Amino acid sequence: MSSQDPWWSQAVIYQIYPRSFFDSNGDGEGDLAGIALKIEYLKSLGIDAIWLSPFYKSPNKDGGYDVSDPRMVDPRFGSLADFGRLVDLCHENSLRVIVDLVPNHFSSEHRWFQEAIAAEAGSPARQRFHFRDPNSDGSPPNNWISLFGGSTWSKAPDGQFYLHLFDQSQPDLNWENPEVAADFEETLRFWLDRGVDGFRIDVAHGLVKEEIEKDHYAPELLSDALRLDIEMEPARRSEILATVPFFNRPGVHEIYRTWRRIFDSYDRDVVSVAEIWVHPPEEAALYVRPDELNQVFNFDLLTTPFEADALFESISGAFSILEPVGALPTWALSNHDSPRVASRLGVSQSQALAIFLLALPGSFYLYNGQELSLPDGDVLDSDRQDPVYFRTQGLQKGRDGARVPLPWSADEVNCGFSTARPWLPIAESWRELSVEAQEKDSASSLHLFRRALSIRQALVDSGSNIAWIESQSAEILAFTRGDFLVLLNTSREDQDFASDGSIYMASNEMTSADGSTIYLPPLSSCWVTRAK
Protein backbone atom coordinates (compact mmCIF):
# COMPACT_ATOMS: atom_id res chain seq x y z
CA MET A 1 0.00 0.00 0.00
CA SER A 2 1.38 3.37 -1.00
CA SER A 3 1.93 5.97 1.70
CA GLN A 4 -0.42 8.13 -0.37
CA ASP A 5 -3.29 5.63 -0.06
CA PRO A 6 -5.92 6.38 2.61
CA TRP A 7 -5.78 4.18 5.70
CA TRP A 8 -9.00 2.36 4.84
CA SER A 9 -8.10 1.27 1.30
CA GLN A 10 -6.81 -2.15 2.41
CA ALA A 11 -7.72 -2.17 6.09
CA VAL A 12 -9.18 -4.97 8.19
CA ILE A 13 -12.27 -3.57 9.89
CA TYR A 14 -13.91 -5.44 12.77
CA GLN A 15 -17.68 -5.07 13.11
CA ILE A 16 -18.91 -4.94 16.70
CA TYR A 17 -22.58 -5.52 17.46
CA PRO A 18 -22.45 -3.70 20.83
CA ARG A 19 -25.36 -5.47 22.47
CA SER A 20 -23.62 -8.81 21.96
CA PHE A 21 -19.94 -8.03 22.51
CA PHE A 22 -19.33 -7.76 26.27
CA ASP A 23 -21.48 -6.70 29.23
CA SER A 24 -19.62 -4.51 31.74
CA ASN A 25 -22.45 -3.84 34.20
CA GLY A 26 -24.31 -7.16 34.56
CA ASP A 27 -27.60 -6.26 32.85
CA GLY A 28 -27.42 -8.98 30.19
CA GLU A 29 -26.54 -6.63 27.34
CA GLY A 30 -23.19 -5.52 25.94
CA ASP A 31 -22.22 -1.87 26.19
CA LEU A 32 -19.58 0.70 25.25
CA ALA A 33 -17.66 0.23 28.50
CA GLY A 34 -17.58 -3.50 27.75
CA ILE A 35 -15.93 -2.83 24.40
CA ALA A 36 -13.35 -0.61 26.13
CA LEU A 37 -12.58 -3.43 28.58
CA LYS A 38 -11.70 -5.68 25.64
CA ILE A 39 -9.37 -3.23 23.91
CA GLU A 40 -6.36 -5.50 24.42
CA TYR A 41 -8.24 -8.33 22.75
CA LEU A 42 -9.17 -6.11 19.82
CA LYS A 43 -5.60 -4.91 19.46
CA SER A 44 -4.32 -8.50 19.61
CA LEU A 45 -6.36 -9.43 16.55
CA GLY A 46 -4.27 -7.19 14.30
CA ILE A 47 -7.23 -5.20 12.97
CA ASP A 48 -7.04 -1.59 11.77
CA ALA A 49 -10.45 -0.29 12.85
CA ILE A 50 -13.70 -1.15 14.56
CA TRP A 51 -17.16 -0.49 13.18
CA LEU A 52 -19.85 -0.03 15.82
CA SER A 53 -23.41 -1.03 14.96
CA PRO A 54 -25.95 1.46 16.37
CA PHE A 55 -25.57 2.51 20.00
CA TYR A 56 -27.89 5.51 19.68
CA LYS A 57 -31.01 6.19 21.70
CA SER A 58 -33.62 3.73 20.50
CA PRO A 59 -36.62 1.71 21.69
CA ASN A 60 -34.68 -1.22 20.22
CA LYS A 61 -37.50 -2.72 18.19
CA ASP A 62 -35.04 -3.47 15.39
CA GLY A 63 -31.71 -3.99 17.09
CA GLY A 64 -31.01 -0.28 17.39
CA TYR A 65 -31.63 0.50 13.74
CA ASP A 66 -34.81 2.27 14.87
CA VAL A 67 -33.11 5.45 16.06
CA SER A 68 -35.04 7.89 18.22
CA ASP A 69 -32.11 10.31 18.71
CA PRO A 70 -29.09 9.95 16.39
CA ARG A 71 -26.99 12.31 18.52
CA MET A 72 -27.41 10.57 21.87
CA VAL A 73 -26.07 7.31 23.28
CA ASP A 74 -28.80 4.96 24.47
CA PRO A 75 -28.52 4.45 28.26
CA ARG A 76 -28.40 0.68 27.72
CA PHE A 77 -24.97 1.24 26.11
CA GLY A 78 -23.70 4.00 28.39
CA SER A 79 -23.21 7.71 27.82
CA LEU A 80 -21.52 10.19 25.50
CA ALA A 81 -18.65 10.22 27.98
CA ASP A 82 -18.32 6.43 27.60
CA PHE A 83 -18.26 6.87 23.85
CA GLY A 84 -15.57 9.55 24.10
CA ARG A 85 -13.42 7.33 26.32
CA LEU A 86 -13.78 4.44 23.86
CA VAL A 87 -12.75 6.59 20.89
CA ASP A 88 -9.74 7.93 22.79
CA LEU A 89 -8.73 4.43 23.88
CA CYS A 90 -9.01 3.11 20.33
CA HIS A 91 -6.93 5.95 18.95
CA GLU A 92 -4.30 5.43 21.66
CA ASN A 93 -4.08 1.84 20.45
CA SER A 94 -3.90 2.76 16.74
CA LEU A 95 -7.46 1.65 16.03
CA ARG A 96 -9.85 3.82 14.06
CA VAL A 97 -13.57 4.01 14.83
CA ILE A 98 -16.40 3.80 12.29
CA VAL A 99 -20.01 4.28 13.39
CA ASP A 100 -23.32 3.39 11.80
CA LEU A 101 -25.53 6.02 10.25
CA VAL A 102 -29.23 5.26 9.63
CA PRO A 103 -30.57 7.91 7.20
CA ASN A 104 -33.48 6.04 5.59
CA HIS A 105 -35.77 6.17 8.63
CA PHE A 106 -36.22 7.21 12.24
CA SER A 107 -37.90 5.41 15.09
CA SER A 108 -41.59 6.12 15.54
CA GLU A 109 -40.51 7.44 18.97
CA HIS A 110 -38.35 10.18 17.45
CA ARG A 111 -39.73 13.58 18.40
CA TRP A 112 -40.32 14.44 14.73
CA PHE A 113 -42.63 11.49 14.23
CA GLN A 114 -44.43 12.14 17.47
CA GLU A 115 -45.02 15.69 16.25
CA ALA A 116 -46.23 14.33 12.89
CA ILE A 117 -48.74 11.95 14.45
CA ALA A 118 -50.15 14.77 16.58
CA ALA A 119 -50.32 17.17 13.61
CA GLU A 120 -52.91 17.50 10.86
CA ALA A 121 -52.65 16.05 7.36
CA GLY A 122 -50.48 18.23 5.14
CA SER A 123 -48.73 19.90 8.07
CA PRO A 124 -44.97 20.69 7.95
CA ALA A 125 -44.39 18.03 10.62
CA ARG A 126 -45.85 15.33 8.35
CA GLN A 127 -43.84 16.51 5.36
CA ARG A 128 -40.65 15.22 6.99
CA PHE A 129 -42.02 11.72 6.36
CA HIS A 130 -44.19 10.10 3.68
CA PHE A 131 -47.83 10.45 4.70
CA ARG A 132 -50.58 9.71 2.17
CA ASP A 133 -54.36 9.41 2.15
CA PRO A 134 -55.85 5.92 1.73
CA ASN A 135 -57.33 4.76 -1.54
CA SER A 136 -61.07 5.29 -2.01
CA ASP A 137 -61.72 1.79 -0.65
CA GLY A 138 -59.66 2.52 2.48
CA SER A 139 -56.69 0.41 1.39
CA PRO A 140 -53.05 1.57 1.57
CA PRO A 141 -51.84 4.04 -1.08
CA ASN A 142 -49.97 1.35 -3.06
CA ASN A 143 -49.03 -2.34 -2.93
CA TRP A 144 -45.39 -1.96 -1.95
CA ILE A 145 -44.07 -4.74 0.30
CA SER A 146 -41.88 -4.17 3.35
CA LEU A 147 -38.52 -5.93 3.42
CA PHE A 148 -39.62 -7.23 6.82
CA GLY A 149 -42.84 -8.65 5.39
CA GLY A 150 -46.32 -7.18 4.98
CA SER A 151 -47.27 -3.78 3.60
CA THR A 152 -44.93 -0.77 3.63
CA TRP A 153 -47.86 1.29 4.96
CA SER A 154 -49.30 1.65 8.43
CA LYS A 155 -52.29 3.74 9.45
CA ALA A 156 -52.01 6.83 11.62
CA PRO A 157 -54.80 7.54 14.13
CA ASP A 158 -56.48 10.04 11.79
CA GLY A 159 -56.68 7.55 8.91
CA GLN A 160 -53.71 8.66 6.80
CA PHE A 161 -50.99 6.10 6.08
CA TYR A 162 -47.23 6.51 6.56
CA LEU A 163 -44.49 4.69 4.63
CA HIS A 164 -41.96 2.32 6.15
CA LEU A 165 -39.74 0.03 4.07
CA PHE A 166 -39.00 -1.96 7.21
CA ASP A 167 -40.94 -2.26 10.48
CA GLN A 168 -43.93 -0.04 11.25
CA SER A 169 -41.83 1.43 14.08
CA GLN A 170 -39.39 2.78 11.45
CA PRO A 171 -41.12 5.51 9.38
CA ASP A 172 -39.17 6.47 6.27
CA LEU A 173 -37.84 10.01 6.05
CA ASN A 174 -38.69 12.32 3.15
CA TRP A 175 -35.33 13.36 1.72
CA GLU A 176 -36.98 15.97 -0.49
CA ASN A 177 -37.55 17.96 2.71
CA PRO A 178 -34.59 20.29 3.40
CA GLU A 179 -35.07 19.87 7.17
CA VAL A 180 -34.12 16.20 6.83
CA ALA A 181 -30.93 16.95 4.92
CA ALA A 182 -29.93 19.66 7.39
CA ASP A 183 -30.54 17.42 10.39
CA PHE A 184 -28.31 14.66 9.04
CA GLU A 185 -25.55 17.08 8.19
CA GLU A 186 -25.67 18.13 11.82
CA THR A 187 -25.45 14.48 12.87
CA LEU A 188 -22.42 13.87 10.64
CA ARG A 189 -20.57 16.81 12.16
CA PHE A 190 -21.65 15.85 15.68
CA TRP A 191 -19.85 12.49 15.49
CA LEU A 192 -16.92 13.72 13.38
CA ASP A 193 -16.28 16.41 15.98
CA ARG A 194 -16.11 13.62 18.56
CA GLY A 195 -13.33 11.88 16.68
CA VAL A 196 -14.98 9.18 14.58
CA ASP A 197 -13.05 8.11 11.50
CA GLY A 198 -15.97 7.27 9.26
CA PHE A 199 -19.48 6.02 8.72
CA ARG A 200 -21.17 2.86 7.56
CA ILE A 201 -24.35 4.07 5.85
CA ASP A 202 -27.38 1.86 6.39
CA VAL A 203 -29.70 1.28 3.39
CA ALA A 204 -27.67 3.84 1.46
CA HIS A 205 -29.58 3.12 -1.75
CA GLY A 206 -33.02 3.67 -0.19
CA LEU A 207 -33.27 7.35 0.69
CA VAL A 208 -35.11 8.58 -2.42
CA LYS A 209 -38.55 7.24 -3.40
CA GLU A 210 -40.39 7.73 -6.67
CA GLU A 211 -43.97 7.18 -7.85
CA ILE A 212 -45.29 6.75 -4.33
CA GLU A 213 -48.90 6.96 -5.50
CA LYS A 214 -48.51 3.97 -7.84
CA ASP A 215 -48.65 0.20 -7.33
CA HIS A 216 -45.44 -1.56 -8.21
CA TYR A 217 -45.77 -5.32 -7.90
CA ALA A 218 -47.62 -7.27 -10.54
CA PRO A 219 -49.88 -9.94 -9.02
CA GLU A 220 -47.50 -12.75 -9.95
CA LEU A 221 -44.65 -11.08 -7.99
CA LEU A 222 -46.56 -10.29 -4.82
CA SER A 223 -46.14 -13.70 -3.19
CA ASP A 224 -42.35 -13.64 -3.61
CA ALA A 225 -42.12 -9.99 -2.57
CA LEU A 226 -43.77 -10.97 0.71
CA ARG A 227 -40.77 -13.17 1.55
CA LEU A 228 -37.94 -11.07 0.14
CA ASP A 229 -34.85 -11.84 2.21
CA ILE A 230 -31.20 -12.78 1.95
CA GLU A 231 -31.97 -16.50 1.71
CA MET A 232 -33.91 -16.03 -1.52
CA GLU A 233 -32.28 -17.33 -4.72
CA PRO A 234 -30.14 -14.39 -5.93
CA ALA A 235 -31.55 -14.30 -9.47
CA ARG A 236 -35.11 -14.13 -8.16
CA ARG A 237 -34.18 -11.43 -5.67
CA SER A 238 -32.58 -9.43 -8.48
CA GLU A 239 -35.68 -9.81 -10.62
CA ILE A 240 -37.89 -8.42 -7.86
CA LEU A 241 -35.60 -5.57 -6.83
CA ALA A 242 -34.45 -4.49 -10.28
CA THR A 243 -37.24 -1.99 -10.83
CA VAL A 244 -38.52 -1.07 -7.36
CA PRO A 245 -39.19 2.69 -7.15
CA PHE A 246 -37.76 2.99 -3.65
CA PHE A 247 -34.18 1.75 -4.15
CA ASN A 248 -31.23 3.11 -6.13
CA ARG A 249 -32.95 6.23 -7.43
CA PRO A 250 -30.68 8.84 -9.08
CA GLY A 251 -31.44 11.41 -6.39
CA VAL A 252 -29.35 9.62 -3.76
CA HIS A 253 -26.13 10.67 -5.44
CA GLU A 254 -26.52 14.38 -4.83
CA ILE A 255 -27.00 13.61 -1.13
CA TYR A 256 -23.67 11.78 -1.03
CA ARG A 257 -21.88 14.51 -2.97
CA THR A 258 -22.95 16.92 -0.24
CA TRP A 259 -21.77 14.54 2.47
CA ARG A 260 -18.44 14.01 0.73
CA ARG A 261 -17.77 17.75 0.89
CA ILE A 262 -18.37 17.56 4.65
CA PHE A 263 -16.04 14.56 5.05
CA ASP A 264 -13.31 16.26 3.03
CA SER A 265 -13.53 19.39 5.18
CA TYR A 266 -11.94 17.50 8.10
CA ASP A 267 -8.18 17.20 8.52
CA ARG A 268 -8.14 13.41 8.43
CA ASP A 269 -9.17 10.60 6.06
CA VAL A 270 -12.86 9.98 6.80
CA VAL A 271 -14.13 6.72 5.31
CA SER A 272 -17.69 6.24 4.09
CA VAL A 273 -18.96 2.77 3.22
CA ALA A 274 -22.39 2.19 1.73
CA GLU A 275 -24.69 -0.71 2.49
CA ILE A 276 -26.34 -1.11 -0.89
CA TRP A 277 -28.12 -3.82 -2.85
CA VAL A 278 -28.34 -2.55 -6.42
CA HIS A 279 -29.48 -4.19 -9.64
CA PRO A 280 -27.75 -4.44 -12.01
CA PRO A 281 -24.62 -4.79 -9.85
CA GLU A 282 -22.63 -2.48 -12.14
CA GLU A 283 -24.52 0.47 -10.68
CA ALA A 284 -22.62 0.00 -7.41
CA ALA A 285 -19.77 1.92 -9.04
CA LEU A 286 -21.93 5.06 -9.13
CA TYR A 287 -21.75 5.29 -5.34
CA VAL A 288 -17.94 5.39 -5.25
CA ARG A 289 -17.23 7.93 -7.92
CA PRO A 290 -14.46 10.33 -6.86
CA ASP A 291 -16.88 12.93 -5.46
CA GLU A 292 -19.17 10.51 -3.60
CA LEU A 293 -18.54 7.71 -1.09
CA ASN A 294 -15.38 5.64 -0.64
CA GLN A 295 -16.58 2.05 -0.45
CA VAL A 296 -19.57 -0.16 -1.12
CA PHE A 297 -20.15 -3.52 0.51
CA ASN A 298 -19.80 -6.49 -1.81
CA PHE A 299 -22.67 -8.68 -0.66
CA ASP A 300 -22.34 -11.35 -3.35
CA LEU A 301 -20.09 -13.44 -1.13
CA LEU A 302 -22.82 -13.68 1.52
CA THR A 303 -24.71 -16.01 -0.80
CA THR A 304 -22.02 -17.46 -3.10
CA PRO A 305 -21.54 -21.24 -2.74
CA PHE A 306 -18.11 -22.65 -1.90
CA GLU A 307 -17.38 -23.57 -5.51
CA ALA A 308 -14.40 -22.40 -7.51
CA ASP A 309 -16.33 -21.17 -10.55
CA ALA A 310 -18.91 -19.28 -8.48
CA LEU A 311 -16.27 -17.69 -6.27
CA PHE A 312 -14.19 -16.65 -9.27
CA GLU A 313 -17.20 -14.98 -10.87
CA SER A 314 -18.05 -13.13 -7.67
CA ILE A 315 -14.50 -11.96 -6.91
CA SER A 316 -13.47 -11.04 -10.43
CA GLY A 317 -16.85 -9.37 -10.96
CA ALA A 318 -16.27 -7.12 -7.93
CA PHE A 319 -12.99 -5.91 -9.43
CA SER A 320 -14.43 -5.32 -12.89
CA ILE A 321 -17.40 -3.33 -11.56
CA LEU A 322 -15.24 -0.93 -9.54
CA GLU A 323 -12.19 -0.65 -11.80
CA PRO A 324 -13.69 2.10 -14.02
CA VAL A 325 -13.95 4.47 -11.02
CA GLY A 326 -10.62 3.48 -9.48
CA ALA A 327 -12.12 1.89 -6.36
CA LEU A 328 -11.17 -1.35 -4.63
CA PRO A 329 -13.68 -3.95 -3.46
CA THR A 330 -14.63 -4.76 0.10
CA TRP A 331 -14.71 -8.38 1.25
CA ALA A 332 -17.13 -9.67 3.87
CA LEU A 333 -18.50 -13.12 4.68
CA SER A 334 -20.81 -12.38 7.63
CA ASN A 335 -22.59 -9.51 9.31
CA HIS A 336 -25.42 -8.86 11.76
CA ASP A 337 -28.06 -9.24 9.01
CA SER A 338 -26.90 -12.52 7.46
CA PRO A 339 -26.27 -16.11 8.52
CA ARG A 340 -22.81 -16.64 9.99
CA VAL A 341 -20.47 -18.01 7.35
CA ALA A 342 -19.38 -20.96 9.53
CA SER A 343 -23.00 -22.16 9.48
CA ARG A 344 -23.64 -21.32 5.84
CA LEU A 345 -20.52 -22.92 4.37
CA GLY A 346 -18.91 -24.94 7.17
CA VAL A 347 -16.02 -24.13 9.48
CA SER A 348 -13.13 -25.30 7.26
CA GLN A 349 -14.66 -23.65 4.21
CA SER A 350 -15.22 -20.37 6.05
CA GLN A 351 -11.66 -20.28 7.33
CA ALA A 352 -10.16 -21.15 3.96
CA LEU A 353 -12.22 -18.53 2.15
CA ALA A 354 -11.37 -15.84 4.71
CA ILE A 355 -7.63 -16.49 4.36
CA PHE A 356 -7.99 -16.39 0.57
CA LEU A 357 -9.90 -13.09 0.65
CA LEU A 358 -7.47 -11.51 3.10
CA ALA A 359 -4.81 -11.84 0.41
CA LEU A 360 -6.81 -9.81 -2.11
CA PRO A 361 -6.53 -6.04 -2.58
CA GLY A 362 -9.29 -4.13 -0.79
CA SER A 363 -10.71 -3.92 2.71
CA PHE A 364 -11.80 -6.95 4.71
CA TYR A 365 -14.75 -6.63 7.12
CA LEU A 366 -14.65 -9.16 9.96
CA TYR A 367 -17.85 -9.69 11.95
CA ASN A 368 -17.36 -10.15 15.71
CA GLY A 369 -17.12 -13.85 16.48
CA GLN A 370 -16.03 -14.79 12.97
CA GLU A 371 -12.47 -15.01 14.25
CA LEU A 372 -13.77 -17.76 16.58
CA SER A 373 -15.62 -19.50 13.70
CA LEU A 374 -18.85 -19.16 15.65
CA PRO A 375 -21.90 -20.72 14.02
CA ASP A 376 -25.38 -19.24 14.16
CA GLY A 377 -26.79 -19.56 17.64
CA ASP A 378 -29.74 -21.86 18.22
CA VAL A 379 -32.55 -19.54 19.25
CA LEU A 380 -35.91 -20.83 20.39
CA ASP A 381 -38.94 -19.13 18.88
CA SER A 382 -39.89 -17.99 22.37
CA ASP A 383 -36.57 -16.09 22.64
CA ARG A 384 -36.66 -14.38 19.25
CA GLN A 385 -36.64 -10.59 19.08
CA ASP A 386 -36.18 -9.81 15.39
CA PRO A 387 -39.21 -7.97 13.90
CA VAL A 388 -38.74 -10.03 10.72
CA TYR A 389 -39.91 -13.10 12.64
CA PHE A 390 -43.03 -11.37 13.94
CA ARG A 391 -44.01 -9.50 10.77
CA THR A 392 -43.82 -12.71 8.70
CA GLN A 393 -45.71 -14.73 11.36
CA GLY A 394 -42.66 -16.97 11.77
CA LEU A 395 -42.26 -17.69 8.05
CA GLN A 396 -38.79 -16.14 8.28
CA LYS A 397 -36.84 -16.85 11.46
CA GLY A 398 -34.98 -13.57 11.24
CA ARG A 399 -31.45 -12.60 12.20
CA ASP A 400 -31.23 -13.40 15.90
CA GLY A 401 -29.03 -16.45 15.29
CA ALA A 402 -26.23 -14.22 13.97
CA ARG A 403 -26.54 -11.86 16.93
CA VAL A 404 -26.12 -14.24 19.88
CA PRO A 405 -23.57 -12.78 22.37
CA LEU A 406 -19.91 -13.75 22.19
CA PRO A 407 -18.49 -16.46 24.49
CA TRP A 408 -15.45 -15.21 26.38
CA SER A 409 -14.90 -17.89 29.05
CA ALA A 410 -14.98 -21.66 29.17
CA ASP A 411 -15.84 -21.73 32.87
CA GLU A 412 -17.77 -18.61 33.88
CA VAL A 413 -21.53 -18.26 33.93
CA ASN A 414 -23.01 -17.37 30.53
CA CYS A 415 -19.61 -18.06 28.95
CA GLY A 416 -18.25 -14.92 30.58
CA PHE A 417 -20.38 -12.53 28.52
CA SER A 418 -22.50 -11.34 31.44
CA THR A 419 -23.29 -12.19 35.05
CA ALA A 420 -26.99 -11.76 34.16
CA ARG A 421 -29.14 -13.69 31.73
CA PRO A 422 -27.99 -12.65 28.23
CA TRP A 423 -30.52 -10.92 26.00
CA LEU A 424 -30.20 -13.95 23.71
CA PRO A 425 -29.18 -17.29 25.23
CA ILE A 426 -25.65 -18.66 24.72
CA ALA A 427 -25.40 -22.41 24.16
CA GLU A 428 -23.35 -24.41 26.66
CA SER A 429 -21.55 -25.99 23.70
CA TRP A 430 -20.03 -22.59 22.93
CA ARG A 431 -17.73 -22.88 25.95
CA GLU A 432 -15.28 -24.82 23.80
CA LEU A 433 -15.47 -22.04 21.20
CA SER A 434 -14.85 -19.27 23.74
CA VAL A 435 -11.95 -16.85 23.52
CA GLU A 436 -10.44 -18.43 26.65
CA ALA A 437 -10.57 -21.94 25.21
CA GLN A 438 -9.18 -20.86 21.84
CA GLU A 439 -6.38 -18.84 23.43
CA LYS A 440 -5.06 -22.12 24.84
CA ASP A 441 -5.23 -23.98 21.52
CA SER A 442 -2.54 -22.98 19.02
CA ALA A 443 -4.52 -24.67 16.24
CA SER A 444 -7.70 -22.72 16.98
CA SER A 445 -9.58 -20.41 14.65
CA LEU A 446 -8.61 -17.42 16.80
CA HIS A 447 -4.90 -18.11 16.37
CA LEU A 448 -5.41 -18.69 12.64
CA PHE A 449 -6.91 -15.24 12.18
CA ARG A 450 -4.28 -13.61 14.39
CA ARG A 451 -1.48 -15.16 12.35
CA ALA A 452 -3.04 -14.09 9.08
CA LEU A 453 -3.66 -10.52 10.18
CA SER A 454 -0.20 -10.18 11.73
CA ILE A 455 1.59 -11.04 8.47
CA ARG A 456 -0.93 -9.72 5.94
CA GLN A 457 0.98 -6.47 5.50
CA ALA A 458 3.53 -8.27 3.33
CA LEU A 459 0.82 -8.97 0.76
CA VAL A 460 -0.53 -5.42 1.03
CA ASP A 461 2.96 -4.09 0.36
CA SER A 462 3.10 -6.24 -2.78
CA GLY A 463 0.73 -3.81 -4.49
CA SER A 464 -2.87 -3.85 -5.65
CA ASN A 465 -2.48 -5.86 -8.84
CA ILE A 466 -3.31 -9.55 -9.03
CA ALA A 467 -3.10 -12.02 -11.90
CA TRP A 468 -5.34 -15.07 -12.01
CA ILE A 469 -3.61 -18.36 -12.83
CA GLU A 470 -5.28 -21.24 -14.60
CA SER A 471 -5.04 -24.42 -12.56
CA GLN A 472 -5.03 -28.01 -13.75
CA SER A 473 -7.85 -28.62 -11.29
CA ALA A 474 -11.21 -26.95 -11.81
CA GLU A 475 -11.60 -26.90 -8.02
CA ILE A 476 -8.57 -24.71 -7.29
CA LEU A 477 -8.56 -20.91 -7.47
CA ALA A 478 -5.13 -19.33 -7.86
CA PHE A 479 -3.72 -15.86 -8.29
CA THR A 480 -0.44 -14.06 -7.85
CA ARG A 481 0.09 -10.77 -6.05
CA GLY A 482 3.61 -9.42 -6.12
CA ASP A 483 5.93 -12.06 -4.67
CA PHE A 484 3.05 -14.24 -3.48
CA LEU A 485 0.98 -17.06 -4.91
CA VAL A 486 -2.42 -17.57 -3.27
CA LEU A 487 -4.35 -20.85 -3.57
CA LEU A 488 -7.82 -22.07 -2.56
CA ASN A 489 -8.85 -25.72 -2.73
CA THR A 490 -12.65 -25.89 -2.81
CA SER A 491 -12.79 -29.67 -3.15
CA ARG A 492 -13.04 -32.38 -0.53
CA GLU A 493 -9.97 -34.08 -1.97
CA ASP A 494 -6.23 -33.44 -1.66
CA GLN A 495 -4.95 -31.27 -4.50
CA ASP A 496 -1.47 -30.58 -5.89
CA PHE A 497 -0.26 -27.35 -7.46
CA ALA A 498 3.09 -27.01 -9.21
CA SER A 499 5.11 -24.25 -7.56
CA ASP A 500 8.67 -23.80 -6.37
CA GLY A 501 7.61 -21.54 -3.51
CA SER A 502 7.32 -22.13 0.23
CA ILE A 503 4.28 -21.91 2.53
CA TYR A 504 3.92 -18.47 4.13
CA MET A 505 0.43 -18.88 5.62
CA ALA A 506 -2.15 -21.67 5.45
CA SER A 507 -5.65 -22.26 6.75
CA ASN A 508 -4.84 -25.94 7.35
CA GLU A 509 -1.64 -27.00 9.08
CA MET A 510 -1.42 -30.06 6.81
CA THR A 511 -0.58 -27.82 3.84
CA SER A 512 2.98 -28.52 2.68
CA ALA A 513 5.53 -27.89 -0.08
CA ASP A 514 8.50 -29.93 -1.32
CA GLY A 515 10.22 -27.35 -3.48
CA SER A 516 8.32 -28.11 -6.67
CA THR A 517 4.75 -28.81 -5.56
CA ILE A 518 2.26 -27.35 -3.08
CA TYR A 519 0.11 -30.01 -1.38
CA LEU A 520 -3.31 -28.66 -0.44
CA PRO A 521 -5.60 -30.57 1.95
CA PRO A 522 -9.34 -30.49 1.27
CA LEU A 523 -11.18 -27.20 1.85
CA SER A 524 -8.05 -25.15 2.46
CA SER A 525 -6.13 -22.13 1.28
CA CYS A 526 -2.59 -20.84 1.53
CA TRP A 527 -0.22 -18.00 0.75
CA VAL A 528 3.01 -19.08 -0.95
CA THR A 529 6.20 -17.05 -1.25
CA ARG A 530 7.50 -17.57 -4.75
CA ALA A 531 11.17 -18.24 -5.46
CA LYS A 532 12.92 -15.28 -7.08
The set of catalytic residues is: 202, 275
Task: Report the distance separating Cα 164 and Cα 411, nearest Å.
Answer: 44
Q: How many other CB atoms are found less than 10 A from the CB of residue 313? A: 13
DSSP-assigned letters across all residues of 152-201:
SEEE-TTS-EEE-SS-TTSPBB-TTSHHHHHHHHHHHHHHHTTT--EEEE
Q: What is the bridge-based pairing of β-strands 524-529 and 96-101?
A: unpaired
Task: Report the distance separating Cα 315 and Cα 301, nearest Å.
Answer: 8
Rg, the chain, Cα only = 23
Query: Which conformational region is residue 78 in: left (phi greater than 0), alpha (psi within -120 to 50 degrees), or beta?
Result: left
DSSP-assigned letters across all residues of 350-394:
HHHHHHHHHTSSSEEEEETTGGGT-------GGG---HHHHHTTT
Task: Report the distance separating Cα 23 and Cα 19, nearest Å.
Answer: 8
Secondary structure in 3-state letters for 17-40:
CHHHCCCCCCCCCCCHHHHHHCHH
Task: Report the distance separating Cα 526 and Cα 269, nearest Å.
Answer: 32
Burial classification of residue 372, based on how many CB atoms lie within 10 Å of its CB (0-12 exposed, 13-18 middle, 19 or more buried): buried
Q: Which residues pair with 266 in a beta bridge?
A: none
Burial classification of residue 510, based on how many CB atoms lie within 10 Å of its CB (0-12 exposed, 13-18 middle, 19 or more buried): exposed
Q: What is the bridge-based pairing of β-strands 467-468 and 476-481?
A: antiparallel
Task: Report the distance separating Cα 93 and Cα 242, nearest Å.
Answer: 44
* Distance in Å from the first CA to the final CA of the chain: 21
